[in-house]
Amino acid sequence: MFILGLGYKVKLIYDEKMKVQQRIIEKQRENQLLRENHQKELEKELAEKVSELKLALQKSEDEKLNSMRLSFENEISLLKLESLRSQMNPHFIFNALNSIKVYLIENDKEKAVYYLNKFSKLIRKILESSRTDSISLEEELEIIELYMSIENIRFDQKIDFSVNRNDVNIASIKVPALILQPFIENALWHGLMLKEGEKTITIEVSQENNTTKLSISDNGIGRQRAQENVAKKSYKRESLGLQFTNERISHFNQKNHSNYQFTFIDLHDENNNAVGTQVEFVF
């Protein structure tokens, strides 16, 4: 009777895990359908904006035309960003939910709830930032910290990630929303993925007079080896993250009369071996 009871208990646990997995799969299907519908709406809205711009080009006088053209270009740029997010987010969301699902299967409910809370907070902040073309640097770094906490699950928490704010008043600095995420993603999947041993990503904020500098440094394999690895792949997909980042910073500078910019710095040791990559922003 004890063995039968134990077997029945094991079956109940197994059935419960299968139900949890089925609910996750159903939720993923719902999210995929929502993303596809959202993508179609974005494409339709983008097509409408382009049509309106063409109509304005035909009917407006030169001065009025230039003003409208700049406005439409800014809106189209934002729509491109939304379209890019709708293409990137399904991959990230799918992987994040799969990572959290492992904790449910292993019956580690405490960790599952912990990371689900972080995941929901991250999605909420991304949606909030999508409604505006700029947020504070403080909010941007909060999003990046949430993003890294989720991505680090897939690296078994082996990435040492830190943000040094150095008492800079980052709440008063406005930046384009989600401007740092593509660089963190590149550091993860091109710089640190194939690296053995210690893996670090450090964000450092400093201020000199009226200029704020922000650097993103990783100790990965370096850009040259990363490009060689990409070249060896039979399937290649051009990354649009850097292109859209340049466009968004250009529009931000034009709209706010600022001069934001960023540069890549290849890091080397005393023997000229690649020891990582650094991206330096000047705000």
In whole angstroms, give the CA distance from residue 122 to residue 48: 31
Asked if residue 230 lies in contact with residue 236, where contact means CB atoms within 8 angstroms, the answer is yes
In whole angstroms, give the CA distance from residue 217 to residue 188: 11
Q: Checking DSSP bridges between strand 199-208 and strand 261-268, what pairing results, if any?
A: unpaired
Q: pLDDT digit string (tens) for 47-93?
A: 887 787 777 667 666 666 666 666 666 666 565 555 545 544 565 67
Q: Reduced to 3 states, what is the DSSP secondary structure of residue 222?
A: coil
Q: Sort 263 into a burial class: Cβ within 10 Å, 0-12 / 13-18 / 19+.
A: exposed
User: What size, in residues, is the chain?
Assistant: 283
Q: Is the pTM of this model over 0.75?
A: no
Distance of CA 134 to the CA centre of its chain: 15
- The more confident residue out of 216 and 71 is 216
pLDDT of residue 175: 92
Of 83, 86, 89, 87, nearest to 49 by C-alpha is: 83
pLDDT of residue 235: 44
